[in-house]
Amino acid sequence: MKHLIKRTLLVGLGLSALAMTAPSPSHAEDALSGTIEFYTSQPDEDAAKLVEEFNKLYPDVTINIYRSGTEEVVSKINAEEEAGQVLADVVLLADAVTFEGFKSRDLLLEYRSPETEAIDSQYVDDYYTGTKTLATGIIYNTDAITEAPDSWNLFTDEASKDAFAMPSPLYSGAAAYNLGVLTRNEAFGWDFYQQIQTNQPMVTKGNGGVLESVASGERSFGMIVDYLVQRAAKDGAPVAFAYPKEGVPVITEPIGIMAATEEEEIAKAFVDFLLSEAGQTLQAELGYAPIRQGIEAPEGLRSVDEIDAVLSADMKELFENREADKEAFDKLFAE
């Protein structure tokens, strides 16, 4: 009954070049067969391509994908836990704080992939590992704004009233992480969000809504993760991305294995592939800044080492206060 999940995505896309460069994982390809459930906040197409490449190594493995915003995926897992059975085998979501929550409830399997030897130790935990680096900064419509903005002050300027969009931390894991980080930074604090609220922003369900509102010209600029802007610009949308001089929050979209999995070997093989050279090359081709050393970020994006200042906060404090932060945001922006 474990794999009777309602939403199944069977993938048929592929990047054949990656299959040729993929390393031989420690798991025997011919011996692996079965089905796992993959819960993620990645865009559908990206998750599909990842599974397609994995299936070139393990053709007898079926991976069912459930995709939604991080906060909704967490709610689904919480509901499954309360019902007595977590269905997910592998989870890839926005930020490490989310995984700290899972770990605190003993929901994760302890596993450190051998591929983590090529990843900076600050992004590796015994229970989960970052898969890429995503910076949050400023998207702007190049028809409306001709000079690239360079400061978060753009959001608090009185002239910006009704001019911008931002994602809701009640849905977006990245936005929830940003909220926790920025409100604990003395240069921002809750005053930053209170000033933003005064300017009456459009609060969208997620980063995709911000992109849509700015690309269409409905709003002139917004707060967003970097890779979405580069993709849209590449497709011809009148948008560009700017890294504010004060610094940017960075999430790593970790991946982890749920402790309740009945397919541990398949789950480990899937994690290994995503962190491998082939898997990380795929991340770069999809437009993300890879987390594995030795693989360049796509044009227009910066790796963590190239970002002037990364804004961060104590992970334990972020985890312990996430729900309170979201409630405070909801109250503030409901006014």
Tens digit of pLDDT for each residue in 294-326? 999 998 898 888 888 999 999 999 999 999 999
Three-state SS at 297: coil
**pLDDT at 25 > cutoff 90:** no
Q: How confident is the model at residue 27 (pLDDT cuts 50, 70, 90)?
A: low
Distance (Å, whole) CA 123 – CA 182: 20
| 227 is annotated as contributing to ligand binding | yes
The pLDDT value recorded for residue 5 is 39
pLDDT class of 20 with cuts at 50, 70, 90:
very low
Q: Which amino acid is at 115?
A: E
Helix (H, G, I), strand (E, B) or coil at 241: strand
Contact 301, 227 (CB under 8 A): yes
CA-nearest of 307, 310, 286, 316 to 132 is 286
The whole-model pTM stands at 0.81
Over range 16-21, report the average pLDDT: 40
Residue type present at position 145: I
What gap in Å lies between CA 133 and CA 137, rounded to an integer?
13
Average pLDDT over residues 42-62: 96
At residue 225, the 3 state secondary structure works out as strand
pLDDT on residue 78: 97
Asked if 98 contacts 70 with a C-beta cutoff of 8 angstroms, the reply is: yes
Q: What is the pLDDT of residue 306?
A: 87
User: Considering the chain, what is the average pLDDT of its residues?
Assistant: 91
pLDDT at 2: 52
Is it the case that residue 70 has pLDDT exceeding 80? yes
Q: Which residue has the tokens 């420690």?
A: 26
Sorted by where each starts, the structural domains of the chain and their CATH numbers stand as 34-131+252-302 (3.40.190.10), 135-250+314-334 (3.40.190.10)
CA distance 66 to 3: 12
Gap between the Cα atoms of 230 and 224, Å rounded: 11
Burial string for 236-250 (b: 16+ CB within 10 Å, else e) reads ebebbbbbbebbbbb
Give the burial string for 197-232 (b: 16+ CB within 10 Å, else e): eebebbbbebbebbbbbbbeeebbbbbbbbbbbbbb
- Residue corresponding to tokens 């197409």: 45
60 pLDDT exceeds 90?
A: yes
